[in-house]
Amino acid sequence: MQLMTEKSAAGGGLRERKKRATRAALAEAAVRLAAEHGAEKVTVEAISAAAGVSVRTFFNYFDTRDDAFVVIDADASARMRRAVLEAPAGHSPLEVVRDAMAAEIAEAEQQHELWRLHAEVLHASPHLLARRVGAHMAAEAELAAAIAERLGGTGGLYPRLLAAVAATAVRTTMDHWSAHQEEAAFLDVFHEVFSLLAAGLPAPPV
């Protein structure tokens, strides 16, 4: 019986990996087609064909066509939550959040071109950018919940404030790095931002 249970668990894991791969393929196809033709001109049929699946399969993963353009990696929030909850006990909440985000950034950098195209698609379509902001807010709320859970359900405003500050730190990192790409790697800028936060945002020397 135990052997059957382990095999079933393994099969379930494989199915989940296939589901994640299919969803990722659909999101990537949507972004690449939108970058080439404009999001408004891309159909569900075209996205499905580019990903090698049926239209019916597309709607197993997305409620609408626009949903496929908004989030590239749907598992990122869950991974960050897990990282926050499983981090060593001796680490401060700020360190834990920093490390969880750094791991996601390192993962995203492996698909730098796709993320660049994704940003272009969103900025070319204001309604998609607005939906992305909504997705960011939902992810931020999930991160705050994970921080609160790590703190034993306490902390008052602290978990939500830390999640919001961390999200702002990532956006600030992105804006600065985009304007100074030749000066430093993205992760270096990210760690500098979090070092400033950890130090209490001291004023720079005059």
- Report pLDDT digits (tens) over 15-47: 888 999 999 999 999 999 999 999 999 999 999
Listed in sequence order, the residues at least 6 apart from 27 whose beta carbon sits closer than 8 Å to its beta carbon are 68, 69, 71, 72, 73, 74
> To 10 degrees, what angle do helices 186-198 and 93-109 make?
170
Domains of the chain by residue range: 1-68, 71-201
pLDDT of residue 108: 79
Q: How high is the pLDDT of residue 3?
A: 37
Reading the block at residue 4, the tokens are 């059957």
Given a cut of 50, the residues of the chain with pLDDT beneath it are 1-11
Q: What is the pLDDT of residue 44?
A: 98
Residue 181: partners with Cβ closer than 8 Å, 6 or more residues away: none
Q: Per-residue pLDDT tens for 75-94? A: 899 999 999 999 999 999 99
If one looks up domain 1-68 in CATH, what number appears? 1.10.10.60
pLDDT score recorded for residue 2 = 35
Q: Are 190 and 100 in contact (CB under 8 A)?
A: no
Protein fold of 71-201: Tetracycline Repressor; domain 2 (1.10.357)
**What pLDDT score does 12 carry?**
52
pLDDT at 139: 92
Question: Same CATH topology for 1-68 and 71-201?
Answer: no
Supply the pLDDT for residue 178.
75
